[in-house]
Structures are given as structure tokens and as C-alpha cells.
Amino acid sequence: MSSIADDVSSILFGTSEQVGVGRGLAEYRAGRPVLIANGETLITLPVEGLDAARLAAFRMLCQPIPPRLVITASRARSLGIAATAPIALELTPDIDARTILALVGDAKATHDLLPEPAGTAANAAIELVKLAQVLPAVLVADTSPARAATFDPPIVTVEASAVARFRATATESLAIAGDAHVPLHSDVRTRFVVFRDQFGDDPVAVIVGTPDFSRPVPVRIHSACLTGDVFGSRRCDCGDQLQLALTRLQEAGGGIILYLPQEGRGVGLANKMRTYKLQDGGLDTVDANTTLGFDDDEREYGVAVRMLQMLGCTRVVLLTNNPAKLDGLAKAGIEITGRLPLETPINADNRRYMTAKASRAGHQLGHLISAFAEAHDRDDKAPPLAP
């Protein structure tokens, strides 16, 4: 039988593993070290913000054990290392912070370091740093619980097994935080329902008009895009898709936009800017993500499913060009009765991005193919250049 103290602790703090992961995320986002425990104990430090002083301090903290650099399998492959899981590179004393940052994020980094399997605890550190949406790489070194207990100030400890469960428990923790009616431009009437989870994220359901929940509801799952949605960036089609979805739902008499905090296909705003820089150097949107060490798409749609369930919406017509969204919702028990495409304008700045989405990520962009065909026909019919 649990004690009153146990009950109070569970209600106020959640489980100890949830608390540990949540605090670990906060520490990584602040650039501080975290202990990862899995039988073994690793002291870890995110590479984000690394400079000469921080590297020297971490080496002193780890003494006499030399630190290793742990990178994702995607980043390893971009360095020419065959990998299907995170790998570790031992860092010799002459390797400086600039070299480490190049190993983590440069498009054409070189190295002569021997890779080795990262291990379970280091794999958990990689998952944690990706959840924190900072650079997906960590410095690690073995330590002991007894030595870790001597660190002052104390360093947060995270159980490796808890990291894998954290996203699911965050979805389960989802609750409605507030809602209100919000009139938009062109007399679009909406109600914003704001949710909150233990990540501290605030996904929003924008209910347009008066959807009939006894019938399949038109739904758009939209990942937040500051550059496109707010500032009208021409590098992507996000803002155009959002506005078109609002128009379509208004015309349909009602529907829902799920606005999810998954910037840059789930890598976060800062990393999105890094991928843009890699794209400026010649990579497409898919290769830019994987070169930086992420999967080509880090989003997951469990939270979207939970939001729909909490709203009482179990049958949907999905407004999307992305078949992955169809699969994710269908596997989670949402009945998808149809799909409506969102075909938005193609311009000189987003053409390469749109082409990569169609050819590399499987997005169904029929209008892009038509545009290419029309351009090809125009070229064929153009008169020959004068000699």
C-alpha cells in the first residue's frame, strides 16, 4: 500500500523517471551535463554551444577518462562511416572544440578517428539530446555512481530506459489548458483549444466554423513554421498550405487544424536554420537533415491522435500531400475516409524544396509534375536560338 507521501509525490511530481527525463531535457537545453544511468553511468554534455573553455572543463570533470564524441547513425553515414545506430569516436587530447563542431555539423568534415558502438546509455543520451532539439551529438565519459555523487553542484541523473518511454508518457499527459473564440481575417470564425503536455509544449486545435463530429471531419495536421506561417518565407510552402487549409475548411462549413510545435520537421528552429545553411551549400532538404544528424523527418503524430480523440473526432478527411500522415493516424486508430490535396504555388525559391519532397519524401504533388511538364513543353516549342 502506498503511503500518503508517495501519493502526494506522484500527484505533484509524476513518476521519478518522468521527473528525471524532464530535468535532463532542461539541463541539455541549458548546455549543462547530465548523468545517464543504465547499470553503467555516463557523464554527458551536449555539443551545442561547445567552445574551448567548456571542452577543457568537461575534460577536467571526466579525468582520468578521455571523453568520446557520440553521433547519430545519420551523421556517421554522412562522414562515410557505415552505421545503423549511434557511434562513438574517442577524442585525443589534440582535438579541439572547432574540430568537434565540424565533425558534428559541417557538410564536408573529415576525420581519422576509429568508430565504436556507442552503447545503451550513450544511445539514450542521443535520444535525449534530439528531444531537446539541440545539435544531435554529445560528449560522454564513463564514471561511477560513487564519483558522480561527489560532483558539486549535483548533476541530474536520467535512467536510460526512461528516455524511450518519455514521448509516449508526454502524449498521455496531454490536457486542455484553455480555449477561446478567435475571429480571423475574411470573417473566418474559429475556436482555439490549447493543449499542454509534460514537455511544456502547447499544441493547438484550431476549430474552424462548426464541424459535424457525427460525420468525417476535414482535418489539417500542420507543423509550426515561424518563417513560413508568420513571415511568409518563400523557401517552403508551409504558410501557403496553412492559409489554403483555412479557406478550404471555411468553405466546407467547418473542420480542424492541429497546429503542432514541430518546427523544421521536428528538429527545432535553430537546427532548421542550420539545415537552411547546408541547403545554401547545395544539399536538398532531406540530405540537409540527415547530414546534421537527424532523420529526414523527426515528427511523430501520437499527439495529433490524442488531440483528435480528446475532441471526440475519430473519422477524418485529411488535408495533406504527405502519405506518412495518413499512415500514422490510421495505425493509431483514426479512421481516414479520404484525402484532400493542398496544392500551393511553386516559385523559384521553393522549387528545389518541393521537388525534394516529391521525389525523396513521397509527397503527392501532382501540380508540381504538371508544372514541370508544362515547362518542358514550352521549351520544346520555343524557337531555336539564332546562331
Residues with catalytic roles? 297, 299
Cα gap 33→50, rounded to integer Å: 12
Torsion, Cα of 335, 338, 342, 343 (10° steps): 150
Report the alpha-carbon angle 279-323-298, nearest 5: 50
Sheet with 217-223, side-by-side order of all strands: 175-183, 189-196, 204-209, 254-260, 217-223, 315-319, 335-340
Residue-wise DSSP of 207-269: EEE---TTSPEEEEEEE--IIIIIT--SSSSHHHHHHHHHHHHHHTTEEEEEEE--HHHHT-H
Q: Which three cell numbers stand for residue 109?
A: 568534415
Buried/exposed 359-370: b ≥16 CB within 10 Å, e otherwise = eebebbbebbee
- Residue 241 one-letter amino acid: Q
**The three-state (H, E, C) secondary structure of 138-155, written as one string:** EEEEEECHHHHCCCCCCC
